[in-house]
Amino acid sequence: MSSTEKSISKVIRERRATPSFDGAPLAEKDLNQILSAGLQAPSGYNMQPWRFIVARNAEQKKRLRAASFNQAKVEEASVMIVACGDADGWRNGDLEEMLRLGRAGGMTESYAEQAKEKIPTYLSTHPNMPMWLNRHVMIAFTHMMLMAEALGYDTAPMEGFEEEKVREVLKLPLSYHVVALLGIGHLQGPDKHNGGRFDMARTVFEEEYGKPMRL
Ligand SMILES: Cc1cc2nc3c(=O)[nH]c(=O)nc-3n(C[C@H](O)[C@H](O)[C@H](O)COP(=O)(O)O)c2cc1C
What tens digit of pLDDT does each residue of 104-159 get? Answer: 999 999 999 999 999 999 999 999 999 999 999 999 999 999 999 999 999 999 99
Kindly give the number of the ligand 1 atom that is closest to the alpha carbon of 19.
11
* pLDDT at residue 2, as a whole number: 64
Buried b (16+ CB within 10 A) or exposed e, 14-38: ebeebbbbeeeebeeebbebbbebb
- Contact of 58 with 23, CB cutoff 8 Å: no
189 conformational bin, left if phi > 0, alpha if psi -120 to 50, beta if neither = left
Please choose from 158, 192, 198 the residue to mutate so as to test ligand 1's pocket, defined by most ligand atoms within 8 A of CB. Answer: 158
Q: What sign has the CA pseudo-torsion 186, 39, 158, 168? A: positive
With a 6 Å cutoff on the Cβ, whether 25 touches ligand 1 is no
Residue 117 three-state SS: helix
Q: What is the rounded CA–CA span in Å between residue 50 and residue 113?
A: 24
Residue 152 three-state SS: coil
Q: Where in the chain are the domains? A: 8-203
- Contact of 94 with 133, CB cutoff 8 Å: no
Please state which CATH number belongs to domain 8-203.
3.40.109.10
Average pLDDT for the chain: 97
Whether 183 has a pLDDT exceeding 70, the answer reads yes
Instruction: Tell me the pLDDT band of 50, cut-offs 50, 70 and 90.
Output: very high
With a 6 Å cutoff on the Cβ, whether 180 touches ligand 1 is yes
* pLDDT at residue 214, as a whole number: 84
- Contact of 44 with 86, CB cutoff 8 Å: no
Q: What is the rounded CA–CA span in Å between residue 137 and residue 178?
A: 10
CA of 158 to the centre of ligand 1 (A): 6
pLDDT in tens, 16-28: 999 999 999 999 9
With a 6 Å cutoff on the Cβ, whether 198 touches ligand 1 is no
Residues 6+ positions from 135 with CB-CB distance below 8 Å: 44
